[in-house]
Amino acid sequence: MKSLVVLSAALLALSASGCVYEIFETHDQLLLAGRYGELARLQEEEISRTPQPTTIKLHALCVSYAKLKRYNRLFPCLDKLEANVKAVGTTGNLLFPIDATPLPPLMRADAYLELGDYARAIDGAKQGYGLIRDGYNRTHETELRIKVLTTLSLAHAFSGDFAAAAESRKRLEGVPIPFAGSGFNQPEKQNSLAKVYIALGQYDSALAYLKGDQGWIRSLGDVLSGAGARGESLFTFQELPRVFMLHKCLLETGKVQEAKAGYDRLLQAPQTQDNGEIYWLILNDRGRIAEHEGKRAEAIGFYKKAIDVIERQRASIHTEASKIGFIADKQGVYQRLIAALFGDRQYTQAFEYIERAKARALVDMLAAKQDFAVPAQKRVQLRALLARAETAEADARIQDASAPGGAVSQSRSLAIQARRDLNEQAPELASLVSVAHVALADIQVRIPADEALVEYYADDKNLYGFVLTRRTIHAVSLDGVNLAADVQRFRTAVQDPGSQAYFELSQRLYRRLVTPLESVLTQRKLIIVAHGPLHYLPFNALHDGREYLIERYSLRLLPSASVIKYLKTAKSARAGGLLAFGNPDLGDPRYDLVHAQTEALAVGQAVPQSRVLVRKQASETAFKQYGADFSYLHFASHGQFDAAAPLKSALLLAGDAQNDGRLTVGELYSLSLDADLVTLSACETGLGKVASGDDVVGLTRGFLYAGSRSIVASLWKVDDAATAHLMTKFYATLKQADTREALRAAQLATRKKYDHPYYWAAFQLTGNAL
């Protein structure tokens, strides 16, 4: 300890002479103070003037991108850093040299953790751990071991492998702290262990590591850097998460009043409000506390503030929450607010926040995507505007109260203006990258006079039903107990054409979902907006004991009510008829669909000016080349649903040298079509990932954005003979009816030949009925 005191005295002397900046350089101060946007700009300017940037400059730039969550810049930066490290190997400065070799894989692992890619986070952390070598700087090497074992523990915990998480935690507990690093490494180790215990739900154990004073070395750092003299601290953005974790643990262990007092102190600190990733978490917990105290109005206020913070951020990547040790579900805030508003009979606001929750979920899902399709005449302008909005929001995402020159307010105002410009010039594109408030009246005015919109919203405990017409809104609390399990049982039963087990389940779901709303369902045409597991439910096959729902009502679906604003209402101006893809050659006879080929040829004969492509001609390349020239697009092929990566869900077409044959959801958001109808006569094409907030991201939503007015898609692997019959009837009826009525007529006609709903109920219409 004596030697450390001597070193401290020497550093204080250096500080007085101005030499401290040999240790605390400008980029060090910006990094420690959390002024990441300023750090990125400084490093970008310096590196642009240097033909061969140093490892330390590249490292600082990569760190700034990581802190700002600019993942599109972070990963290329890490590639450059890795190349530099291989050539140089060390970074740091004269007093504190470090081996930089482990840094790129460790930083990638941390990014993958935040992005929710836990397998790659684990692989990167293991790779980085194997590169840590002793001999350069024991304090830094200890820091690396703490970081990598923390990342490993959290990634294992989040992926559900609690045994591996516990093993990594034990290794973390066993990391020895060098004497010289006691001031730095020990607090970091304690905080890291607290994060891991929180991730494992062991709040009592986490508390043991969060209590006590960890501030002496930070106070010394503030003195040495000159920050203290300016009334600032270099460590605000490191201390704030620790204090939050402390009060989070107090709340979860039943010490509600202590947690409340601590949260209220945090909410009064400007640094808290400048850290958007933690601010909303505190507001959410204060809402929970207010509800616990029976103060519903106060809770509603806290939840609304939390949602305002959330919606200022484009991407809902769980950044700070991951590092704290748990992935906080932002949708939980919406759920609590909606439940409180519903309980307070504020049905209009409850409905509007349901739509905002769905928009939030869609924005989260598409967060990493940039190459959205935009009108050709505005392509350059809108893509530049989207890039500007992304940059401004990244700068504003992690704020710094001490940033000079009003940089915080400038970043926020730039982000707000960019979003406003984007919303004015491309409202549908804006809806995919930011959450805008949609008033109930804006939705109601677009509901046709002869239709009613029925929307459902489910959370872990509650199920709500809303019925909207142009002038009215009715809201009902429904039975949501074991809803997902009942839907799954019904889906399993209805896909067994040799069994009648589906019938009782069908009536049970009818009683839960339809009967409580029947008194206000005066229109024969319904727009169904499902939620959660209800996206996988064939509503047309629900039975009241006398008849199926499809016999009484004519149905169409929307992924969310707000989508009604963007649906194309005029028919396509295309002169082309139908482009059909049948039984694509997938290179494996097991995937051949003989009836699908027959089906494609048959529907091609039913529609004038048709072109039918089968086998090798039915390729992804052909679709991208000709798809925009036809009013009708028909796919009689396999579909592949990827719940873990919904943007990779795909229609399977023939591949060639130009395309792999997988027409993915992600690609659809980059394409421009002008189709009246897209028919997905394939396996499970109507499925999409349902996030907790919901707006389902599947092929149907992708085709809507790409420019289709309506989509017919299936919910399960369909019988190809029955489907060929149904589709032939569908296209024949289209000559006299709109798409919804044509599908209904085809399903009822198919039922006469194939009575069991397995054969006819899988298909649903999403979008407009033209």
Q: Which helix (H) or strand (E) holds 204?
A: helix 203-210
Q: Is residue 12 part of a domain?
A: yes
SS3 467: strand
Residue 380 corresponds to which amino acid? V
Neighbour count for residue 160 (Cβ, 10 Å): 9
Residues 460 and 584 in one domain: no
Same domain for 520 and 634?
no
CATH number of the domain residue 125 falls in: 1.25.40.10
136-157 pLDDT, tens digit per residue, is 578 878 989 999 999 999 999 9
50 DSSP β-pair partners = none
Both tokens of 498, joined, read 């040799």
CB–CB of 671/624 below 8 Å?
yes
Same-domain pairing of 513 and 580: no
- The secondary structure element, H or E, covering residue 574 is none
- How far are the Cα atoms of 290, 525, 751 from residue 550, in angstroms, in the given order? 45, 10, 11
Q: What is the per-residue DSSP string for 585-603? A: --S-GGG--HHHHHHHHHH
pLDDT at residue 693, rounded to an integer: 53
Question: Does 621 fall in a domain?
Answer: yes
Same domain, 130 and 217: yes
Identify the pLDDT of residue 392.
64
- Backbone φ, ψ for residue 427 (5° rounding): -60, -35
Structure tokens at 465: 């039903």
Q: Is residue 342 assigned to a domain?
A: no
pLDDT computed for residue 19 by the predictor: 36
Asked if residue 135 belongs to a domain, the reply is yes
How sure is the predictor about 9, in pLDDT bands with cuts at 50, 70 and 90? very low
Q: Specify if 369 maps to a domain.
A: no
Q: Is the pLDDT of residue 437 over 90?
A: no
Are residues 16 and 151 located together in one domain of the fold? yes
- pLDDT above 90 covers a percentage of the chain that reads 50
Q: Are 466 and 455 in contact (CB under 8 A)?
A: yes
Q: What are phi and psi of 627, to 5 degrees?
A: -55, -35
Whether residue 272 is contained in a domain is answered as no
Higher pLDDT, 361 or 722: 722
Q: Is 738 helix (H, G, I), strand (E, B) or coil?
A: coil
pLDDT reported for residue 24: 45
H or E segment and range at residue 48: helix 36-48
Q: Are 288 and 280 in contact (CB under 8 A)?
A: no
Instruction: Specify whether 538 is located in the same domain as 610.
Output: no
Please give the torsion angle defined by the CA atoms of residues 770, 595, 648 and 488, in that order, rounded to the nearest 10 degrees.
Answer: 80
Same domain, 522 and 664: no
Q: What are the pLDDT digits (tens) for 476-497?
A: 999 999 998 999 999 999 999 9
Instruction: Note the pLDDT of residue 520.
Output: 95
The tokens 């005295």 sit on which residue? 9
What local confidence, expressed as pLDDT, does residue 644 receive? 67
CATH code, 497 = 3.30.420
Contact in structure between 239 and 200 (CB atoms under 8 Å): no
pLDDT of residue 685: 65
Mean pLDDT throughout 261-289?
Answer: 90
Same domain flag for 70 and 213: yes
108-119 pLDDT, tens digit per residue, is 999 998 888 899
Residue 169 three-state SS:
helix
User: What total of structural domains would you count in the chain?
Assistant: 3
Q: What angle do CA 208, 214, 215 make, to 5 degrees?
A: 155
Q: Do residues 368 and 646 touch, judged by C-beta distance below 8 A?
A: no
Q: Among 619, 616, 612, which Cα is nearest to 634's?
A: 612
The domain boundary, picked from 533, 564, 595, lies at 564
Same domain assignment for residues 179 and 110: yes
> Dihedral of the CA atoms 532, 536, 540, 543 (nearest 10)?
-80
Q: Could you list the residue range(s) of the whole structural domain that residue 187 is in?
A: 2-237
pLDDT higher at 686 or 406: 686
Question: CA-CA distance, 259 to 279, in Å (whole number)?
Answer: 15
Q: Burial, 568: exposed, middle or buried (Cβ in 10 Å; 0-12, 13-18, 19+)? A: middle
The dihedral through the CA atoms of 439, 444, 445, 447 has a sign that is: positive
Same domain? For 29 and 158 the reply is yes
Q: What is the pLDDT of residue 185?
A: 83
Give the end of a domain, one of 504, 531, 564.
564
CA 522 vs CA 21, 453, 526, 766: distances in Å: 76, 11, 10, 22
Per the CB < 8 A criterion, the answer to whether 474 and 452 are in contact is no
What Å distances lie between residue 418 and 61, 376, 412, 598, CA to CA? 25, 20, 10, 51
Pairing assessment for the beta strands 554-558 and 525-529 based on DSSP bridges: parallel
In a domain, 213, yes or no: yes
Question: How large is the angle between the packed helices 720-733 and 594-606, nearest 10 degrees?
Answer: 10
681 lies in the same domain as 754: yes
The answer to which of 537-546, 548-557, 593-602 has the lowest mean pLDDT is 593-602
Strand 662-664 relative to strand 710-714, pairing: unpaired
d(CA 608, CA 508): 44
| Tokens found for residue 581 | 């893809």
Phi and psi at residue 613, to the nearest 5°? -115, 125
Residue 446: partners with Cβ closer than 8 Å, 6 or more residues away: 564, 565
CB atoms near residue 445 (< 10 Å):
12
Q: Name 337's Cβ contacts closer than 8 Å, sequence gap at least 6.
A: 287, 300, 303, 304, 307, 353
Helix segments in 325-450, DSSP class H: 330-343, 347-365, 379-397, 407-425, 427-433, 440-444
In terms of Cα–Cα distance, which of 518, 517, 503, 508 is closest to 485? Answer: 508
- pTM for the structure as a whole: 0.85
- Domain end, chosen from 524, 545, 564, is at 564
Same domain for 492 and 579: no
Give tens-digit pLDDT for 190-244.
999 999 999 999 999 999 998 765 555 555 555 555 555 555 554 565 678 889 9
Tell whether 535 is covered by a domain: yes
d(CA 37, CA 43): 10
